Structure 1
């Protein structure tokens, strides 16, 4: 797999260090608000990031997952589909959505609206990566690990056709792999 990577953008050490910082910031904010969120990972890409993040929390958070889809290969198809809803109720609860990357913003915008419609008290977003140059919907994560350029990135949960998620770093995939 490593031979398919053009450049390592973020090392495992950089990601872990940033997760420690994000977890502290998130925990401080929720402690000030007097809330304990349900931490909701968007499957599958958020799993490594969410695992790294929640092990740093000292508050007793609940976790759940949703599976949503809006991509076909390398392209966002613009239609967000909920494949698996979370099991816990979000009514009158704070939600912390965990996402691998904010790209077009379509998925997060729709999921956030859904939580608000279901009665969540507030919905915050933490994303490992932000790619603002690709945004087509006006949405911003409350907490961002790293801003990345408009390149096809894989690793640490991010994939190309379900491969490369298990790389312990974020890398730019060689063009010949996906073109």
Structure 2
């Protein structure tokens, strides 16, 4: 819900714009083969993220218009090099940075000024009031099969710690859920 509301509020996407979304690192096959994304990569397996972002030039021929960031760190740094003038960045998470003793610095901040990029961070609390509208919009699409979601379910409270650690290491695919009891 946070991602949906924040993306639309912060970025105001328009038809024809080029959007790059960073999220879970372990879902490349799922994104490309099941959900039909044009391309996907695991940022943990790429040695040169700038080159990786330039690789699918047919997807970003003039740069990235909108970047939805859930990763931060080196990925955000590389994306700033590849943003289009007047691009928008919505920062919803920084999963690559949460458990580091020393978070990575962003070296390409000057591109925010040179390219006049709008960067805005947001949190669940900013859009909680839109939850009913979100459900009204999304639930029909889920029922029609137009939106598909994936849950990675860990069984039992005793598996909660391992599920949490796996979340930060990119081991889960989809929304991580810990099932503590059957209905």
Q: TM-score, normalised by structure 1?
A: 0.42
Higher relative contact order (CA 8 A, sep 6+): 1
**When you count strand as a share of all residues, which structure comes out higher?**
1
Larger Rg: 2
